[in-house]
Structure 1
Amino acid sequence: MNKTVDEERLQTLADEMREKAVHMGLSFWDAEDLVQDTFSRFYLKRYHCRALPLRQQEVVLGQLFRAEWVKRQKDREKRKEKLVKDPAVFDFCRKSEAEESSQEAGCLHEEDMHTVLREIFHMKRTMRDVLELTALFGLRGDEAGRILGISDEVYKKRLLRARKELRARLHTQGIQF
C-alpha cells in the first residue's frame, strides 16, 4: 500500500512527538510507548471521522498527545509513590542514608543506585518500575539500561514488537498503518 501525503505527514508528526517526549525527560522506550498510545487513540477516533482535513487531524493528534502526557504524568507520580513505599527500596535507602551522614539525606552513591536497581530487577520488578526508579535517582533510561545490562538491541527488539502489536491491533479494526 502506497503512503499518501496524509500518512507521510502523520509519520513526521509521530517522529516529532517522539523527539519532544524524549526532550521532556522520557526514556526512549517510554517516549515510543506514549506516541504509540497517542496514535492508537487517534486512529480509533479517525476511523469514525475520516473526512477531517489534515490540519484538523493534526490538531486532534496534538490534543490527544497532551492528554496522554498528562495522564502518564499522573500515573508516573502514583507509581513513584508506590515504588518508594516498597519495603526493599525503603530499607535500602534508609540504610544508605544512615551510612552516608556526610551527604544530604536521600542522596546515594552511584554504586548504591546500581545495587538498588539490580536488586529490584532481580526481584522481577517490571521494566517500567525499574525505569521509574532510575528517574527518581536522576538517571536517564539509557543509563538505566547500561547499569542493568540491557542493551540498545533489547530496546530495539521491544520497540519492533510493540509496533507490530500496534499494527496488528489496528489492522483488526480495519485500519492500515
Structure 2
Amino acid sequence: METAATGLTFRDATHADVDVLVALIESAYRGDSSRAGWTTEADILEGRRIDPEGVLEVVRSPGSRLLTVERDGTVVACCQLEHRGENAYFGMFAVSPALQGDGLGKVVIAEAERTARETWGAKEMHMTVISVRNDLIAWYERRGYRRTGRMTPFPYGDERFGIPQRADLRFELLVKEIG
C-alpha cells in the first residue's frame, strides 16, 4: 500500500528482502551506526540483534507479517506483526538511523496498528521492550501504549539476542487498545 501523503510504500517482506532487513535492523540497534539514531542498544547489548534465519522465520510464518516500508524504492523501516488470538504482537521495529526523529516511526506504528486491526480484528497491540530503555518506553507511551509491569527474563547466554553488558535486563509487556 502506498500513502501519497508520506511517499511511503508498505508491503510484506519477501525472501529477497532478508539481507536488506537484517542490515536495517542491525543499523538501528547495534554498533556505531546505531548511534546516529536514538534507538541504539549499543550501550546495553553487543553482538547481533537479528540474523537472516530470524528474519526468514517471520517471513515464512503463516501468522506473521514483516511489514516493509520503502521510500523511493529504498527500504527505510520495518516491523513484525504477529496474530495472537484477539491481539497482535508488534516487534522487530526498525527505522533507518538517519531518518529517526523525523516522524517516520509514528507513521509506521500507526499503519501497523491499522493493519493488525483490519487484517485480524485485533483488539490490542502487545510488544515487549527491554525495561531499562526508558526513552523508548516513553516514546511508546506517547503513542498510547501502557506499561503493564509484567516482566519476562532476558535470555542471558543466548547470543541470538545479543551479548548483555549489564545484569539487570528484562522485557516488559506494553499494551495498547487498537480495536
TM score, norm. by length of structure 2: 0.23
Q: Which has the larger radius of gyration?
A: 1
TM score, norm. by length of structure 1: 0.23
Which of the pair is proportionally richer in strand? 2
Which of the pair is proportionally richer in helix? 1
